[in-house]
Structure 1
Amino acid sequence: MGYLEDLMAANERIEAATRGHWTGLVARLFLPGLLLLIGIALAVAGNVFGTGVLQQWGIIGDTQTIVRIVFVVALILYPLVAFVLQYLDWRNEQYVVTNFRLIHIRGVLRKDVRDSSLEKVNDIVMNQSILGRILDYGNLSILTSSEAMGSDLKHIGRPLRFKTAIVEAKQRLDSAAVTGGRSVPELLSQLAELRDRGVLTEDEFQREKKQLLDRM
């Protein structure tokens, strides 16, 4: 069972999930990747041309072979480690909407989890650039009464689908709260029984029926 499943309540289910878009990952990996390529290039240059090329670049002297090795290895290992850490950080950050709440999970070994009840969501604002619409990424600003979730979900993938999932989950939750957790067919059956017993008039029955159907 995964970490997300461990967070779920017994009657809680996932409605939708997303994470940062891959273009954001590319931007985060650009500098480590560039340094890694430079380190590999220096290693190849030192191996193919000997120390002469590196001496011309002013990196080593005749008696600095160990320094050269340490420098090149560090120039390769540092961006490589940064590359892996950035990827793992991106891979383990998730935005999840369930039938009860919004959940933001991040962290590889040490987890940071923030959640906010759907009942507290007041409004959702989506912002997409032209490129974002083409590649399907954007920002969501979720306004809640507690703001525990944070105001912005930046550069996430499939923002429109995620926003729709939040709205629909909130509507279902609000509808269940109004009906006391009972299904609309059950309530319609009770209304019909009250009408048949003469407790409700036909007009009252039709009015209540319309209100229930509008909540579906």
Structure 2
Amino acid sequence: MSPAYLKRLLGENEQILLTTHQHWIVLVEQILVEIILAAVTILLVTIFLITGGGNPGIALGYLLLIIPLVSLVRDVLKWWNHQYIVTNLRVIQITGILNKNVTDSSLEKVNDVKMVQSVIGRFLDFGDLEVLTASEMGINRFTRIANPIRFKTTMLNAKIRLEDQTREATAEASIYSIPQLIEQLGELRQKGLITEEEFIEKKAALLAKLS
């Protein structure tokens, strides 16, 4: 996939943390038939060419290789353009060679991540991930993804950092609003809506949050 296309998907201050694909075993399964067909075509045409006394017309049979080779190239491009991406803000899944299908989930809405690995998956390092979200989509399924443990930990660590940044921003905003709240309390005291004792008590409570 073109890096320029992926870059256009990113928002302001959004950074890519991890990019991966489905495991290579998925690609092997998809192109195995094409490889077998190509090998059988080469073998049969070569045999006919030898037994046919070197007839040049038989060599045209090699043109049949175009069919499995075109299919093989398509499968490779399809696999390469199926990407799973973790950024500091969301999880993105991109499919399609020319027509792109982009699905993303905000890290803020990710509730949990379920991972399933078979014995072979643990040995070859692939597995299935289910990202449970609070969005309308509910569940995002990533099938036979490469490096599933690294993908999961990268995503969860990014979610934790994002939550910490949100809490810090909220706390900072509340600190900046304390002087305004004290000023409003002073106005309420002047209007006689609260007593002097209530003003002092509430002011002390607000100032304590600054310490």
So what's the TM-score if we normalise by structure 2? Answer: 0.74
Kept in 2: contact 1:114–1:148 (CA 8 A): no
Q: CA deviation at 1:120?
A: 1.2
Kept in 2: contact 1:96–1:102 (CA 8 A): yes
Aligned to 1:73: 63
Q: 1:164 aligns with which of 153, 159, 163?
A: 153
Distance, in Å, in 1 between the alignment partners of 2:170 and 2:79 is: 38
Aligned to 2:193: none
Distance, in Å, in 2 between the alignment partners of 1:104 and 1:132 is: 21
User: How many correspondences in the alignment?
Assistant: 179
Structure 1 residue runs of 4 or more that deviate by more than 6 Å after TM superposition: 68-71
Distance, in Å, in 2 between the alignment partners of 1:83 and 1:149 is: 34
Q: CA deviation at 1:73?
A: 2.8
Deviations 1:28-75 (A, max 9, x none): 111111111111111211211118xxxxxxxxxxxxx97x6776633x
Deviations 1:103-128 (A, max 9, x none): 11111222111111111111100111
List gaps (5 residues or longer) in structure 2.
176-203
Distance, in Å, in 2 between the alignment partners of 1:133 and 1:13 is: 29
Kept in 1: contact 2:110–2:133 (CA 8 A): yes
Aligned partner letter, 1:4: L
Q: 1:181 to 1:34 in 2, by over 3 A?
A: farther
Query: SS state of the match for residue 13, structure 2?
Result: coil
Asked which structure has the greater CA Rg, the reply is 2
RMSD: 3.0
User: How many percent of aligned residue pairs carry the same amino acid?
Assistant: 38
Distance, in Å, in 2 between the alignment partners of 1:147 and 1:71 is: 53
Aligned to 1:38: 40
Aligned to 1:113: 102
So what's the TM-score if we normalise by structure 1? Answer: 0.72
**2:183 paired with 1:175:** no
List gaps (5 residues or longer) in structure 1.
52-64, 188-196, 206-216
Aligned partner letter, 1:104: Q
